[in-house]
Amino acid sequence: MAFIEPLSLEKIFVNVLSGSPDIFIGLALLVIFGMAGYFRMNMLVASTFVGIFLLMFSSFISSPIVILFFIIGGLLLGFTLAKVFN
């Protein structure tokens, strides 16, 4: 087991939990939209959260088309979760 610095969030989230930056961004977007659907946020608030997230992690994005598919999938997930929990 390798030593991981305690406050190295990039190593903890990207390398250890996800494996690659693309998978990390996809999982994080799905979690954001899942929480938006669970808490029944309107799309303005959810898209603001996604916009802030994408600005913060824009250096990790290597393939924008994959991120577009994750955003579309996340919107569908948030919409269906809002209907399920309503």
| pTM: predicted TM-score of the whole model, two decimal places | 0.66
* pLDDT per residue as tens digits for the range 12-54: 777 788 888 878 888 888 888 888 888 888 878 887 888 888 7
Residue 4 pLDDT > 70, yes or no? no
* pLDDT per residue as tens digits for the range 45-80: 887 888 888 778 777 777 777 777 777 877 788 778
What single DSSP character describes residue 59? T
Structure tokens at 68: 């577009």
Per-residue confidence (pLDDT) for residue 1, from 0 to 100: 60
Looking at per-residue pLDDT, the higher value among 86 and 56 belongs to 56
21 in any annotated domain: yes
Helices H, strands E: what count in the chain? Answer: 4, 0
Please report the beta strands in the chain, taking only residues with DSSP state E, as ranges in sequence order. Answer: none
Of 21, 18, 22, 43, which Cα lies nearest the Cα of 32? 43
Structure tokens at 74: 């996340």
6 in any annotated domain: no
48 in any annotated domain: yes
Given a contact cutoff of 8 angstroms between Cβ atoms, the answer to whether 38 and 81 are in contact is: yes
58 in any annotated domain: yes
The number of folded domains in the chain is 1
* Host domain of residue 67: 11-84
46 in any annotated domain: yes
